[in-house]
Amino acid sequence: PPGENDGDAVATEDDVSPGMLSQIASFHEEGCAVVLLSLGSRGALVSVTPDAERLRRSSPDGCDAALGRWTPGTRVRVPAFWVPHGEVNANGAGDALFSGFCLAASSWWVRAAAGRRPGDAGGEGWEVTPCAAGTFASLVAWQRCDARTRDGDGMRSAAELMELVRRGNLPDALEP
């Protein structure tokens, strides 16, 4: 499942243009701890600042956000997912992607599922990594793009989507 080995999803120069990689680097230089770049039907890129101190400062003491435990310099590409019946409405997909990422990075799911904070004794030991947060965000966008379920019947809850990520039970990815 995503998060167990984020190295499996490491982005390469082929995934994103050199100009975009340069832009991401400039965002980090200007103070952004994490950059999420939508690649549309090719998925998304999550980039964590290489500055460990900046990353630490972005998650204050007592805050339970996952990003405070992320490895500086991590860069992962997550896929977009295929809507099997082909009825796609991408309106709002970017908003869904970014909202889903913020929710996942806040570690809300780990606390809700285990009734405790990540890392507490007795927990499952699963934490939201950049890859897991990006994959969750991509699932939120995928669900928003499904013209049959986007506004009600058949939509999965955020907890159900995160469980898909945690178990690695993901829909088919679109080929880049």
Give DSSP secondary structure letters for 25-46.
HHHHHTT-SEEEEE-GGG-EEE
Quick one: pLDDT at residue 49?
95
> Per DSSP, which regions of 43-98 are E strands?
44-48, 75-78
Cα maximum dimension of the chain: 46
Calpha distance 41→101 (Å, rounded): 17
Residue 132: count of CB within 10 angstroms of its CB: 27
What tens digit of pLDDT does each residue of 48-87 get?
Answer: 999 998 888 887 665 656 777 889 999 999 999 999 898 9
Quick one: pLDDT at residue 67?
75
**Residue 155 burial (CB < 10 Å; 0-12/13-18/19+)?**
middle
Measured at the CA of 75, the angle between CA 71 and CA 79, to 5 degrees, comes to 125
81 touches 170 (CB < 8 A): yes
What tens digit of pLDDT does each residue of 37-51 get?
Answer: 999 999 999 999 999
Q: Which amino acid is at 113?
A: A
The pTM score is: 0.82
Calpha distance 45→144 (Å, rounded): 19
